[in-house]
Chains A and B, each alone.
Chain A
Amino acid sequence: MLHFYIFAPFFAALLIGLFAKKGSRIHTGWFVLPVPAVLFILFCSKLPVLAEGKIVQSVANWIPSLDIQLSFYLDGLSMLFSLLITGIGSLVVLYSIYYLSKKEQLVHFYVYLLLFMGSMLGVVLSDNVFVLYTFWEFTSISSFLLIGFWFYRERSTYGAQKSMLVTVFGGLAMLGALILLSITAETNSIREIIANRTDIIESDLFIPILILLLIGAFTKSAQFPFHSWLPDAMEAPTPVSAYLHSATMVKAGIYLVARFSLIFSGTDIFFIIVTGAGLITLCIGSFLASRQTDLKGILAYSTISQLGMIMSMLGFGTGVATLAAIFHIFNHATFKGSLFMIAGIVDHETGTRDIRRLGGLYTFMPISATLAFFGAFSMAGIPLPIFNGFLSKEMFFDASLKLEQTSGFAATFAQWVPFLAVAGSIFTFVYSMYLVFGTFTGKAKLDQLEKKPHEAPIGMLISPIVLIGLVVLIGLLPNLINEPILAPAVASVRGDLALIHLKFWHGLNTPLYMSLIVVILGILLSLTLKKWQPVYNRVPGKFSTDRVYQGLVNGLLTFSKILTKSYMTGSLRLYTSIILVFLVISTSAFIYMTDGFKISFDNLAPVTWPEVLIGSVMAVAAIATIWMNQRIAAIIVIGVVGYGLSLLFVFFRAPDLALTQLIVETITVALFLLCFAHLPKLKKSDKKSFEKLLDFVIAASTGALLTIVAISSHSSQYFDSIAKYFVDNSYKLGGGDNIVNVILVDFRGLDTLFEIAVLGLAALGIFAMIKYRDKGDMNH
C-alpha cells in the first residue's frame, strides 16, 4: 500500500482545484489538511511492524525493460522521515490556514505544497535509484515553485532561481553517482546496491561515486560551500520555510548520506569529507547567524549550522554518533519548525521581521514568547534536561570525543573534532539568545511597527504549541521515541539492530563540562555582541559564498557573451573560414592518424597530351579568376573552365556528360551575362595583405586536401565496381543501348525524378523572386 501513501498527495493536488472555489467561505487549507493527517496516522500504524525488525514494501512495474520499478520500502530511516513529512506537514497546513489570507492564490499554494509532500515521501521511500532521483528533482521543482510563490517580488524570483540552480546542479551530480552505483553493483535497487558494498568499495569508481553523491547531498542540505541558497529561499511564505527549509527538504541530503552510509562508512575519505564539511558548515552557519537582522535569516543560518552538525555526526560513523544524528534530525525538526512558525507569527502581528525594529514583545504576545524561549533554549542546548536539543547535543559531544581513527590524517583530524564542535556550539548559543532576547525582551519600539502587536489567534498557535510540547516531552522522556522510532532508524543506517539506551542524565563527565564551557562563553559573547559585531565587516566580508555564486553566474554570462560575440560576428566569410579550417584539420588529422595516405602508380590510365593541355588551360583559367576584375573577362574565364571540362568529358568517353555540360555551360554563361548587366562592376579586393594570405592558405590547403583524398582513395580500391551489372543488363532488363541513360531513367529513375523536382523548384523560386517584388510591406 506504499504506492497509495506516496501518490495520495499527487491525487489530492489534482483534485484540490475542484474543491476550492474562488470566494468560497471555507479556507482551501481545510480540504488539504486531511491528506497529511490521515497519512500520518497510517504511517504510525506501521510502527509495530518495524519494531519487530521487519520492513514494509511494495513493487509496481514502471519501465521493466530498463529495470526501473516503482519499488518502495519502509524501514526505520524511511519511517522517521515519513513521520516528519506527514506530521509536520499536517501542522504546517494547519498553520498556513491561519497564516495565508483568502486573497492569496491558495490553490496554487496547496498544489505546490502537496506536490512537494508527495515527492518528498517518494524520495524517502524509494528503493529504485532512478525513482529516487525522479522524486528528488520533483522536490527541487516544487520547492522552486514555493519559494517563488510571490512571483511579483524580485527577491522571491531571485531566491527561487538560485535555489533551483544550486539544487539541480547537485541533483544532476547525484544522478551521475546513482548511475555509476547501478553500473558497479549491477542493480538499480538500493538495498541490493548496499548488499554489494564490497564491489563498490573495491571498484575504481568508488571516489567518483562518493564525491558526486556528496555533491548531491551537500547542495540539497545546504552544506558548505553550497549553503548560500538557503538564506535567499527565506523569501518563501513562512509555512514553506518552516516545512521545506527546516524540517523536510533540507534533510533530504542528510537522508541520502544516511541511506548510503552503510556503503561508505568506515572509509577515511568519507569521514574526512563528511565530517569536515559538516563541521565547517556548523561553525560558519552559527557564526554568520548573529550577523543577520531578519528573523528568518537568523533561522536560515541556524538551519545550515544544525544540518552541518547532523552531517558531521553521520561522518563519524560510530553507533552513538548515528543515534545522536537521528535523534537530532527529529529534535531539530521540532524546535526549528516551531521557531519558524513563531517568526511568522511575529511578522504577521507586527508587520516586520527586522530584529532591529523588534523588542519587548513579551508583554504583548506572552504565549508566542514562551514558546520561542523553549525552542531557542532547546536549539542552544541549555543544559537542562527538559530540552531535547540538550540531549542530542550532549550525545554529539560524547560522540566527538570517542572518535577512533587510526590512519594518519584522519587521526589528526579526529583530535580536532571536539574543539570545532564546541566552537560551533558557542555561536549556536549566541545566535539563539540573540534571536529570542532581541525579539521579546528589552524596550518595545512601537513607533517603528506597522501594527500594534497583539497575541496571535489560537489556530496559529496550535502547531508551535504541539511542536514545543514535543520538545519538552522528548526532553523529559527521551526513551519514549527511542525504541519505536529511533532504534529502527539507527538499525537501517548501521545495518544491525542494537538498542542504545538514551541517558536522561549523563552524570558529571566531559560532555557536560563541554556544555558548561559553551554556556559560559556563550553568555559572555552574547552580552558583548554589540562590541564584536563589526567583525562581520571583515569576515567574511568579500569572501562570502554569496559573492562567489554571484561572481560565477555573472562570469558565466559575460564569458558566454564574449565567446559568442567573438565568432558569431555575422560575417559569412568568417563562418566559411571556420568550417573549412575545421574540415581541413579534422580530415588531415584523421588521415594522419590512420596512416590513410596512399599513392600507387599501378593501374593508372596512360597520360595523353590533349588532356594534359586542356587540363593545364583549365587550371590556369581557374587560378586566373582570382585576379579578374572585369566582368566580361570573368565570364570568359569561367567559360573556359566549363567548356574545358566538357572537352575532358569527350576525351574520357562520356558523350552524354559532354553534351549536357556544353548546354548547361552555355546557358550559365548567358545567365551570368544577363545578371552582370544589372550588377555593379567587379571590384578589386580591398583586403589587407594578411587577410589575403589567410584566404590563400585556406584555399590552398582545402585544394591540397581534396587532391590527397582523391589520390589516396584512387590508390586503395577494395572491391570492383558494380558497373558490370549495368553493362550486362542494360539491354536485357532496360531495353536500351545507352547505358547511362538506362541508369538515369530505369535503374536509378528516382534520382532523376527528384532532380526534375529540383529544377522545377529552382524555376518557381526564380519566378517568385522576380515577380513578387517588395511592395512597400517589406522592411528594409
Chain B
Amino acid sequence: MEILMSILAGTLFAAGVYLILQKQLLKIVLGTALLSHGAHLFILTMGKLNRGKPPILIEGVKNYTDPLPQALILTSIVISFGVTSFLLVLAYRTYQSNKTDMMDQLRGTDDE
C-alpha cells in the first residue's frame, strides 16, 4: 500500500509542477493546491499506513496508528489553506490592477 501511495503522491506532485510551469496565474494557484495535497499524502505515507486503530485512546487497545504525522499534517493543512486563500486574493487583485493574469505580461517594470 505504501508504494502505491508513494506513486500517487508523486503523480499529484508531477501534475502540480506542470501547472506551476504554466503561464496563467490561476493555473499556478491550482498547482500549489495540488502540491500541498501531494505533500500531505507523502507525510502520511512515511508514518506507515494502517498499523492499528485510530489514535484515540480506547480501554484495552494497545495498537494505534502513529499520531505524530497526523498532527504535523493538520498543522500543514491549515497553513497551506491560509497561503492558498492569500494567493487567490492576490491573483484577484493582480488581475484587477493589471488587467491580465498572464505571467509573461506581468514581468517587472520597464524602468528597471
Contacts and interface: CB of A to CB of B under 8 A. Distances in A.
A606 B5 CA distance: 12
A748 interface: yes
B84 A668 contact: yes
The dominant DSSP class at the B interface is helix
Contacts of A661: 40, 77
Given A687-B23, A738-B56, A740-B67, A714 B46 contact: yes
A739 interface: yes
A737 B30 CA distance: 37
B36 to A, nearest CB: 10
Interface string A742-780: 011000100110010011011101100110011000101
B99 to A, nearest CB: 9
Contacts of B1: 604-608, 611
B54 A682 contact: no
Interface string B7-32: 11111111111111111101100100
Residue from A652, A680, A755 with most neighbouring chain B CB atoms (10 Å):
A652
B67 A743 contact: yes
Contact of A713 (B11, B20, B46, B53): B46
Contact of A641 (B37, B64, B77): B37
Nearest to A765: B86
Interface string B31-72: 001100110111011111111111111100000111110110
Interface in A430-460: none
B95 A678 contact: yes
Nearest to A770: B89
B97 to A, nearest CB: 7
Contact of B3 (A611, A711, A778): A711
A727 B64 contact: yes
B104 A571 contact: yes
B86 A726 contact: no
Interface residues of A, number: 99
A769 B89 contact: yes
Interface residues of B, number: 82
B51 A605 contact: yes
Contacts, number: 267
Residue from A607, A678, A766 with most neighbouring chain B CB atoms (10 Å):
A766
A703 interface: yes
Given A634-B30, A699-B18, A682 B37 contact: no
B7 to A, nearest CB: 5
Nearest to A721: B66
Given A653-B54, A656-B74, A710-B42, A618 B12 contact: yes
Interface in A679-705: 679-680, 682-683, 685-687, 695-696, 698-700, 702-705
A711 B9 CA distance: 11
B56 A737 contact: yes
A739 B56 contact: yes
B40 A645 contact: yes
A671 B84 CA distance: 9
B92 A679 contact: yes
A682 B24 contact: yes
6 contacts: A626-B19, A652-B44, A667-B85, A710-B10, A738-B57, A739-B55
Given A607-B1, A668-B85, 20 more contacts: A580-B17, A607-B4, A645-B41, A653-B53, A657-B44, A664-B77, A678-B92, A683-B24, A702-B13, A702-B14, A707-B7, A714-B2, A721-B66, A723-B64, A726-B67, A737-B58, A740-B70, A752-B75, A759-B82, A766-B85
